[in-house]
Structures are given as C-alpha cells and as structure tokens.
A and B are shown apart, each in its own frame.
Chain A
Amino acid sequence: MIRVQLFATCLGDLLFPEAVADADTLLRAAGCEVEFPRDQTCCGQPAFNAGHHRAAVRLARQFARVFSPDIPIVAPSGSCAAMLTHRMPVHYDVWELSSFLDHLGAEPPARNDGLRLAYHSSCHLLRELGVDEAPRRLLERTGAELVPLNRPDLCCGFGGTFSVRHAEVSVAMADDKLANGGRADALVTADPGCLMHLQARAAKTGAVRVVHLATALARGAA
C-alpha cells in the first residue's frame, strides 16, 4: 500500500466535494492508503497571486502544520499542485492527481466508452508542471475518444482575481474555450478553478458540460 495525503483544495472541499470523493476512489483503486488530514484549508495561492505575501505565508504555515513533507501529497488540482511545488518554503512531494495515477499505472474503469471528450489543459498543470499526456492517457484508458481542442494552449480566463478585475475579458476567454469544446460530449479539466469558471459561464449560455477529470475517470463524464 502506498500512503498518500489527499489535499482536497479549498475549491474542491467547498464547491466540488464529489470530485474530491472521486479522486479518493481512484487513489484507493490504484492501491493507495488515502489519508485526509482534517485540518487542511487552502494552499494560499489566491493571496500569493494577488501579491499579498503575508496573507499567503499564514496559509503556508497552516499547510505545514497539517501536511507531512515525507508522504506524497495528491491534489485534484494542477494549479494548487503547482503552487505547492514552486512557491512553498518547505519541499513537499506533491502530485497532481492524474500524474500520480498515471505514475502508478492506474487502470480506471471503462466508463467513457463511446464518449467524445475534449480535454482542457489548465495553464498551471501544462506549463508550470509540464503535465499534459497523463490526463489524456487516463481518459483514453476509460474508452473515451479525445476530440482535439483548437488552441489547446489558451487559458480559460479564470486566473483568480483576474476573473473579477478584468471580468469582460475573462468571460470572453471562457466563451472561446466553451465554443471550442462544443463539439465534444463534455469538456474535461483537471483544475477546480477552470471548472468553476467554465461551469459558471456555461450555466448562463447553455454551452457544453464541463466535468472534473476525477469524476470523468471514476464515474464517467456522461
């Protein structure tokens, strides 16, 4: 058994508890003993990215009180995993969920047979962690046919406080991404931030369904 610490992330805990539960299921199925440190809150990225380093340090201290640097930490979020990898004063063994599952050679169940899925590469997973093949490979192992996105490198427009500071541009970026994914049965992303933003816009426009990668892998994206 591989011991891992599950970091739900604040968005996962508060907005997408089912996706976190799916991540838990996938990790267990891949042979992990999953611990959930109960006092976890947030990695502090919202404050760090807005320039409020003192605030971010408070959250980093809380993170350090809760998580052990000696046991792998798995997060169903590319962005939080990138924050923990690159910005923390302590070195943690951090993995984004799909890269960890792929590393373990996980075989998720074939719940996406016949589905045409588009994968949105979230910016921080793609460019800060260099992970792009793992989530695609896993989706293909579940039987999905991957539909290529036009301009897969483009951001969905979330960007934390950016989504409010430059709301009009942010929404226009989301529209592009959603229109792009429109040919697929669902748009899949490994990041709760992108998921929140794209779902929020799709709810207004009736665009394509947007699903967290953990859910797509554990229960199917349909």
Chain B
Amino acid sequence: MSFPVLDEHRLAATDAATLRLLNGRTNAWAELDDVEELRDRAHAIRMQAIDDLDGHRDRFVAALEAAGGTAHVCATAEEARATVTRICVDAEAKLAAKSKSMLSEEIELNSALEAAGIEVVETDLGEYILQLAGEHPVHIIAPAIEKTAGDVAVLLSAVDGAPVEPELEALAQAARRQLRRVFERADVGITGANFAVCDTGSICLVTNEGNGGLVTALPRVHVALLGLERLVPTLDDLSVLLQLLARSGTGQTLTTYTRLLTGPRRTGEEGGPEEMHVVIIDNGRTGLLRGRYKEMLACIRCGACLNVCPIYRKSGGGAYGPVYSGPMGAVLLPLLHGLEREPGLPHASSLCGACTAACPVKIPLHELLLDLRRDLVGEGLVSRTERFAFTAWSFLWSNPRLYRLSTRLARTFQPLGALAGPGRTWAKGRALPSLARRRYRDGR
C-alpha cells in the first residue's frame, strides 16, 4: 500500500495552503513569551484528564445536567449514531444543520440521519463544498484544502444554476445566501466540541465562520458531539489550550469565534435552543489507554502536524483514509481501528520528526509511529519475507567476519540488485547506489 503523489492541481493547492498555515503557526509561536513552557502546561492539562477520564466525564456530566443539558454516553459509533438519530426523530426533525465536526465524520453520522429521512446540510464552508462535491474531508481543519477558488465556483454555481465568480468574496456571498435558507429552516443543529469544561459543564466551540453560532442558536435542538478525551478540568485550563489551538492551527491569536455554551436557553432568555444534548463518544478511545499510546489522546486537532508533514504535503489527506490524516491520522487510525486494519499507516512517515516538533501539546508523534511499527512486528503483521530479511541480516551483521563476507558478496552480485525486491522499487527513478570496491575498513 504505497502512497501516491497528488495530481498537479491538488498538489499546488495543498502546497500553498499548508505553507500558509505552517508559516502562520511559526510566526504565532514566535510571538509568545515562552512557547515551550506553554506547550508543557498544555500537555500536563491534557494528561491530567486522560489519566482519569471517568472522573472527569462524571464531573462534566453533573455540571452539564445542572445547567439543564442532557448527556448521552456512547461506547461505539453505532450507539452514537442511534442516539443522535433518536434525538432528531424525537424532535420531529426534517432538516439538520451541521457545523464542522470530524467526530461526526468518524462515526459516519450523515448517512445514518439520511437513512432516517432527515436531510443533513453541512454549513462550514469547506464541509459544504465537499458535501456538494460528494467527497470526504482531506484536512482536519481545512477540509477542502485541495480545492481552488475555481473548483469551488463550479460547485456553488451548480446549486442555483447561477454562475458564481471564482473570487473569495463572491464565493463567500454565494455560500452565505445558499446556507441562510438552511439555518432558517433547520430543526436541529449539530456541532462538534473542541473542549468540554468539567467545572462548568460548558462546551467550547472554536470556529472562523459565523455558522457555528447560527447552528447552535437558531434550531430548537442543539446536539454537540464530544470525543470522550476532550475534557478539560477548569476554565483556566481551557484558556491555556485556547492560547495554543488557533495559533497552532491557523496562526491566529484566537479564532474569529470562540463560544462557550453552557446548557440550553434558560427561562427569560431570548436566544438559544430549547434542548441541548451532549453526546460523549468513546469509539475506541479508551483502547488507547495503554503505555505511551495514551499520549495520542492529548491531540487537540489543530492540524499543525499535517501542515508540516512532507508526506501529507505530497500525498494529501485522502491517502490516509476518509477522516483523519497526516501524522496524527497515521498514529490515531491504527490505534482506533486496530493495527491489523491499518498495517500501512505506521510506515507512512520518513520519521523526520517535523510533526513532533510542531505539536502544541507535545505528542511524540514519530515516536508513537515507531512503537506501532514495533507492534506490527510483534503481532505478526509483517510479511514473512520482511521478517526473514531483517533476521538474517541481523545475524550476518552481528558477526564481523560474516559482515565482511556478506558485503563482499553483495558487491559481486551488485548488478543483480535492480532486478527484484526493494532494489527494483528503488531503481524506479533512482540509480542504485554502488558499493565501493574497497570498503573503508579495507584501507585502514
């Protein structure tokens, strides 16, 4: 399962956008007094919740219910889909307006709702574009990163049959006009949740478009999907994470909108939904609570590791699968789905370590990839040929005489190297390295 290189069009779009985001992060980090100290604090805050997920979840649920909200704890994607569908059916919903949620992609919510006869419309611009195109997101914060203004103009023009100019302002206007109709009619608003605050029972929503506000304020019912691990003990802790999230994702100090939502509309209040449901979803997350893998639960989904990854930059998000991608996807997906289902992803990295250096919460991403590779071997998920090759090689090279003999033979049979196996793959596009006639040791 070798990753392909994107076509020229998508490559150029991805290159430009990831570079802009990564420069944004570099500049924003440089403006902080002590980014290392902040990253350490953020890491500690995340690990505090991860080391006691049950306790933090119980505190959050109690605070949410005290604020009039309803919590639903779901172990699996199936349970979560059924729960959200039931909430929508109970609300007699015909139309659900969604703001961006990668967790909803993870649990494949849209198709479940549509099967129940509920129309679902994505209102985040990038997600809306992808819904029109019938495609999956290829970046966790910039889902339509491979689309150019021209691509988007074609898609938006097709909605009303009226041509839209491929200029940012015109595109935004057209999408706004088209989506306004959705906000006005939607019975249920569905969002993700960047964080949930245990002390107050609030969920925090971080967006750059006004859609998050409309989705949570206009429909009668608000459903927020919360990854079990996105719990934060206090508002002070939240402020530490917020200082890093937008800076690491887009280079902004804060996103345009940072919303704290605490329960549904209270008596006397004019805005807000009548019901607020928070669906807390595990879907394999507690399976990460072993050894060093639990570090991956610290991820705040900023996308910094994608933007800095040279493999993501060449292959795009689609190569990793339909939801998560880049280094965080390469680590998370095998842990959520099982290595046997994702045996290729731990190797989708040159181990350059740029991801680890870019991670605001200091997840040792490339180290976790190494751990996963070790587990692939340990669980017998590598080919017999590969296992045999490394075993034989290690026996030969842990003996100096056999090292000398094997490398001498390799030199003799060198011209055959390009005929089969790894040598043949290497030789597509590259010259085979030539072994020196005299090794260094021969000249000493």
Contacts and interface: CB of A to CB of B under 8 A. Distances in A.
Interface of A: 8, 10, 12-17, 20-21, 36, 38-42, 44, 46-56, 58-59, 61-62, 66, 123-124, 127-128, 153-155, 157-174, 196-197, 199-201, 203-204
Contact of B354 (A50, A127, A161): A127
B351 A58 contact: no
A164 B436 CA distance: 22
B350 A170 contact: yes
A56 B393 CA distance: 10
28 contacts: A10-B397, A13-B407, A13-B441, A14-B435, A14-B439, A15-B433, A16-B436, A39-B400, A42-B397, A47-B393, A54-B394, A55-B391, A56-B394, A58-B394, A61-B398, A66-B400, A154-B354, A155-B350, A159-B349, A161-B347, A162-B347, A162-B351, A165-B2, A166-B3, A168-B429, A169-B311, A171-B428, A204-B429
**Which of A47, A48, A199 has the most B CB atoms < 10 Å from its CB?**
A47
B351 A160 contact: yes
B422 interface: yes
A214 B264 CA distance: 67
B176 to A, nearest CB: 36
A41 B425 contact: no
Contacts of B399: 62
Interface string B410-444: 10000000000010011011111111101111111
Nearest to A163: B426
Nearest to B424: A164
Contact of B394 (A36, A52, A155): A52
Nearest to A151: B19
Q: Which 9 A-B pairs have the closest CB atoms?
A: A159-B350, A51-B373, A55-B394, A155-B352, A17-B440, A203-B431, A123-B352, A39-B400, A200-B430
Contacts of B346: 51
Nearest to B400: A39
Contacts of A173: 310, 314, 350
A157 to B, nearest CB: 6
Contact of B433 (A155, A161, A165, A199): A199
Given A38-B441, A44-B394, 17 more contacts: A13-B440, A14-B410, A39-B400, A49-B370, A52-B377, A59-B398, A123-B351, A123-B353, A127-B353, A159-B350, A159-B351, A161-B422, A162-B351, A163-B426, A168-B4, A169-B311, A203-B431
B398 A51 contact: no
A73 to B, nearest CB: 15
B337 interface: no
Contacts of A54: 391, 394
A61 to B, nearest CB: 6
A54 B432 CA distance: 28
A166 B284 CA distance: 28
A53 B391 CA distance: 10
B353 A59 contact: no
B5 interface: yes
Nearest to A34: B444
Contact of A172 (B314, B351, B391, B441): B314
Q: Is the interface of A mostly helix, strand, loop or mixed?
A: helix
A17 B439 contact: yes
Contacts of B410: 14
A173 to B, nearest CB: 5
Contact of B398 (A16, A58, A174): A58
A50 B353 contact: no
A204 B431 contact: yes
A20 B442 CA distance: 12
B426 A166 contact: no
Given A16-B436, A38-B441, A158-B350, A59 B373 contact: no
B336 to A, nearest CB: 19
B440 A12 contact: yes
Contacts of B4: 168-169
A166 B347 contact: yes
B348 interface: yes
A61 B400 CA distance: 12
A204 B382 CA distance: 32
A146 B440 CA distance: 30
A41 B308 contact: no
A123 to B, nearest CB: 4
Contacts of B435: 14-15
A167 B444 contact: no
A194 B308 CA distance: 19
Nearest to A171: B429
B430 A204 contact: yes
**Which of A52, A61, A124, A162 has the most B CB atoms < 10 Å from its CB?**
A52
Interface string B335-350: 0000000000011111
A172 B426 CA distance: 13
**Which of B390, B394, B431, B441 has the most A CB atoms < 10 Å from its CB?**
B394
Nearest to B399: A62
A20 B4 CA distance: 36
B425 A124 contact: no
B315 interface: yes
A128 B429 CA distance: 29
A165 B4 CA distance: 11
